[in-house]
Amino acid sequence: MVLDIWDGSQTTHTYTERDAALYALGVGACGRDALDKYELKYVYHEDGQQSIQVLPTFGVLFAVGFLSHLSHVPGLQYDPRLVLHGQQYIEIYKPFPSSGKAAILEVEIISYEKESSEPICLNRITVYLRGAGGFSKSSHPYSYSKNSASQNLAAKIPNRQPFAALLYRLSGDYNPLHSDPKVAEIAGFSRPIQHGLCTMGFAVRAIIKCICRGDPNMIKNISGRFLLHVYPGETLIMEMWLEGLRVVYQVKVKERNKAVLSGVIDLTHLTSSL
């Protein structure tokens, strides 16, 4: 992939049904039940693989290449081994086709379907560059609105996959922080950590299953703040609160009793059973 997001030039991201299915497995789809009625459609369809549905968080993969081009920012100096993903926002404009191409245009990355030029999704990414400098003190990062205090608990779902990072990296995020023990040690971790976007994928998948009754097209936009690292194999406790058309969520690590991810998801509508 050739990408220069700093001068506005375009690049094309091509994916197939296999990529969409591999991503779904990487964020735990059918992890408990290979015949799960809500999740089998992400990896198999009786009318053929071209008819599978695509998880809305699949769109984050269109923006993965941006991190490798941070060094193009004038005046920015940092150690790429110390980059941590801080926040992620994705807005869904239309359901993802099971295969296709998407053009990436800018740092606030908008992805378009190649054939129709229709926008598919928007990614807004915040990263932490530990030890970096060169920006004005007047610069302020994008921040998300505060969560409402009136929250009603919807569900808790534990997830565990010791190989989660190794499987997720096959979707295109090959940062060695998630696979190489030496790189992880340099970054200050006892062992490789799980991709933050993998954890987010687990969270959104759980919300689609529990709140949306398996309908991924109910997702309008997703925001998340990565609070702490996750080690592959740890148990994730998923908490959700439904407030009108907004789902407030938090992910905790059971073994350390720490929150690792929090955010909100806006829905297009509610199911009749809610």
The domain segmentation of the chain, as residue ranges, is 11-130+152-267
Q: Is 69 a catalytic residue?
A: no
N-term to C-term CA, the chain: 43
* pLDDT, tens digit, 9 for 90 and up, residues 156-178: 555 567 788 999 999 999 989 99
- How far apart CA 237 and CA 77 sit, in angstroms, is 37
- How far apart CA 29 and CA 54 sit, in angstroms, is 11
Can you give the pLDDT at residue 267? 97
Helix (H, G, I), strand (E, B) or coil at 227: coil
Can you give the pLDDT at residue 72? 65
Which of 196, 201, 224, 263 is flagged as catalytic?
196
When pLDDT is cut at 50, 70 and 90, the band that residue 1 belongs to is very low
Can you give the pLDDT at residue 125? 80
Which of 28, 59, 109, 173 is flagged as catalytic?
173
- How far apart CA 160 and CA 193 sit, in angstroms, is 14
Can you give the pLDDT at residue 236? 92
Which of 85, 178, 195, 229 is flagged as catalytic?
178
Q: Is 208 a catalytic residue?
A: no
Can you give the pLDDT at residue 262? 96
Can you give the pLDDT at residue 182? 93
Can you give the pLDDT at residue 143? 43
- How far apart CA 248 and CA 250 sit, in angstroms, is 7
Which of 5, 193, 208, 265 is flagged as catalytic?
193
Strands (E), the chain: 11-15, 83-92, 100-104, 109-113, 119-129, 153-159, 219-226, 236-243, 246-253, 258-267
The mean pLDDT value for 246-258 works out to: 95
Give the closest residue to 87 by CA, choosing from 33, 145, 132.
145
Can you give the pLDDT at residue 129? 58
* pLDDT, tens digit, 9 for 90 and up, residues 103-144: 544 457 888 888 888 888 888 887 665 555 444 444 444 344
227 or 153, which is more confident: 227
Q: Is 201 a catalytic residue?
A: no
Can you give the pLDDT at residue 166? 93
Can you give the pLDDT at residue 140? 45
Can you give the pLDDT at residue 2? 29
Q: Is 110 a catalytic residue?
A: no
88, 123 Cβ separation under 8 angstroms:
yes
Can you give the pLDDT at residue 111? 85
* pLDDT, tens digit, 9 for 90 and up, residues 162-220: 788 999 999 999 989 999 999 999 999 999 999 999 999 999 999 999 999 999 999 99
- CATH class for the region spanning 11-130+152-267: alpha beta
pTM exceeds cut of 0.75: yes
Task: Retrieve residue 245's tokens.
Answer: 């058309």
Can you give the pLDDT at residue 55? 96
pLDDT of residue 150 exceeding 70: no
Can you give the pLDDT at residue 70? 64
* pLDDT, tens digit, 9 for 90 and up, residues 56-92: 999 988 877 666 666 666 666 667 676 777 788 899 9
